[in-house]
Amino acid sequence: MAWMKVPPWLFFLVLLGPQEGKGQSGEQEELDSKELMLVLGESVSLPVNIEEGEEIEKIIWSFHSTLAVIQQEAMKEPSISIVPDPRYNVIVNISDHTYSLHISNLSKEDEGTYRAEMNFEGFPGTITQKFILRVYRRLPKPKVTVILEISEESVCNVTLKCHVDGKGDEEEFSWTSLDPGAIVSDGGSVLHLSWRPGDSDWTSTCIVRNPVSFSSHSLPVEQFCTGPKVSSSTSCSSLVKGLFILLLFGFLIVGIIVTRHLIKNKESATRRIHRGLKLRKGVKRENLQVKEFP
Ligand SMILES: *[C@@H]1O[C@H](CO)[C@@H](O)[C@H](O)[C@H]1NC(C)=O
Ligand SMILES: *[C@@H]1O[C@H](CO)[C@@H](O)[C@H](O)[C@H]1NC(C)=O
Ligand SMILES: *[C@@H]1O[C@H](CO)[C@@H](O)[C@H](O)[C@H]1NC(C)=O
């Protein structure tokens, strides 16, 4: 007969199969694990909820090793033993049927899987509730570095680079801008746009997010390109350019007067002209500016 050809080890496997997951002391049941996104420095409660009518016998919370044990005998106050760390606490609310492990001042080291193994009266098995903790910082306000390039036609090319101080996980940058031609690069952190006189003001906003928070920084683009609201040393309007040309003329005139008056002292006169030339170079560099906005 065909079934006779089935190798005997297969029967052995079939017999073993359904028993997998059973412990020596009875049935083991694992509830769906709960994933919690938490904030650095804050606290969390890991509660086990007991159904009405169920009587808890024992709960063991563990993370790498055992953190706390609750033992409850009928009609008695529960006895609690816990690791000697002020950050851990067990909170029992009998009227609420809630038993919680409380962890305060969360740090990155607290990330991972916590287990609550529960035994109930009149039930031989163990039920395990898993909690997966992730800890993230609350994001500070992002900073923006502004790089301006102004072409001959007064086109103002703006590059805005967004960043946050410090290190963090799963932080995502994005930009919103009303400029239809804006280009976002570097994974969302850099925005390029071109502004022309007559364009409306394109306020641009950098947004940074992580699983527990988000933070943003808005900048009016027109302000960089027209200048009056920022100090003259960082602006780039044609008005300011004109002022620089006027200044240049001023230096030239002063230079000529000085040269004439001090013509006898050749050395001194030459030094002053050199100084004038240095200032002229300084003006040309004004076309490319970098400024950081905290
Ligand atoms: C216990 O739970 C009850 C019902 O939810 C609540 O009203 C009470 O404030 C809780 N007690 C403590 C100490 O948290
Ligand atoms: C919280 O933990 C950090 C280190 O993780 C420590 O520097 C700080 O003092 C702690 N704060 C409190 C209130 O315990
Ligand atoms: C400004 O950007 C455009 C493209 O966005 C580019 O073609 C142009 O050369 C840039 N001008 C300056 C002065 O950088």
Residue to probe by mutation, ligand 2, list 38, 85, 105, most atoms within 8 Å of CB: 105
pLDDT for 168 equals: 87
> Atom of ligand 3 at shortest distance to CA of 152?
13
- The protein residue with its alpha carbon nearest to ligand 2, atom 8, reads 105
Name the residue of 148, 149, 284 to mutate for ligand 3: max ligand atoms within 8 A of Cβ: 149
CB atoms near residue 118 (< 10 Å): 24
- 168-208 pLDDT, tens digit per residue, is 889 999 999 877 788 899 899 999 988 888 887 778 999 99
Q: Which residues line ligand 1 (CB under 6 A)?
A: 93, 95-96
143-225: CATH homologous superfamily? Immunoglobulins (2.60.40.10)
CB-CB contact of 145 with 163 (8 Å): yes
Distance, in Å, from the CA atom of 269 to the CA atom of 74, rounded to the nearest integer, reads 103
Sheet holding 44-49, edge to edge: 44-49, 98-103, 88-93
C-alpha span between 247 and 241 (Å, rounded): 10
Residues ≥6 apart with Cβ < 8 Å to 82: 67, 68, 69, 88, 89, 90
pLDDT tens digits, 147-160: 998 887 888 899 99
Q: How far apart are CA 269 and CA 84, in angstroms?
A: 81
Q: Which residue, chain included where needed, has tokens 């851990």?
A: 88
Tell me the backbone φ, ψ of residue 212, rounded to 5 degrees: -115, -10
- pLDDT (tens digit, 9 = 90+) per residue, 8-64? 444 443 333 334 343 445 678 888 899 999 999 999 999 987 877 788 899 999 999
CA of 40 to the centre of ligand 2 (A): 10
The domain 26-136 is placed in CATH, from the list 2.60.40.10, 2.40.30.10, 3.20.20.70, 3.90.1150.10, at: 2.60.40.10
